[in-house]
Amino acid sequence: MSTPAALLVKAELEALKENAALMGWSLKQVDDLTFVIGLPAKDGVDYHLRVRCDGYPAMPPAWHWFNPETGDIDGRGDTPKGGNFLHSHGVICAPWNRLAYTTVDSRGPHSDWQIGAWQQNPYTKACLTLSAMALRVAYELTKNYEGRLAA
């Protein structure tokens, strides 16, 4: 029996699949609550994210940078940097990323945010769907990207 999170992820992945097909992004669903998306940076490098959505939307998804060849997550060589968003700690710094919360991940810059209130966080604005979040990451990889976090 599907969980509410799985049902919502299924619905939102339909929209994300449309966007991915249009934009030429890679998208692979791993299980009911997990998918991998590949997005191009402005230097032509493709970055991948493994996104875990358990507890969504009560909890924001966990957007892990991902190496599709090794299966590793959060490797600094697989992580982009640039601006405040592609944070030097190696996590996407936004309220809609679970990893931005210190209470979840020690790299998370924010101990001042309440994870259960991520949708009401003023920095979330309209990034309330998986597609909105992916579009925001794609934008940052185009505009503010400065290369890999580590060679």
Partner 1 sequence: MSLDNKGPDPNSGKGHDDAVVLEIATPNGVFRGSFDKNDKVEKVIEEVVEDRDLAEEDAFELYYGDVHLEPVGRPLVSFGFKKGKYKLTLVATGSGV
Nearer to partner 1, 72 or 135 (CB): 135
C-alpha separations of 120 from 82, 104, 125, 139 in Å: 26, 19, 8, 22
85 makes contact with partner 1 (CB under 8 A) = yes
Write the binding mask 21 to 60 for partner 1: x where contact by CB under 8 A, - elsewhere: xxx------------------x------------------
Nearer to partner 1, 72 or 104 (CB): 104
> What are the structure tokens assigned to 38, written together?
């590949």
From candidates 139, 146, 147, 150, binder to partner 1 by CB under 8 A: 139
On whether the CB atoms of residues 56 and 44 are closer than 8 A, the answer is no
Give dist(CA 77, CA 90) in Å, integer: 10
Cα 73 off chain centre by: 12
Which residues make up the interface to partner 1 (CB under 8 A)? 14-15, 18-19, 21-23, 42, 83-87, 92-94, 110, 123-129, 131-132, 135-136, 138-140, 142-143
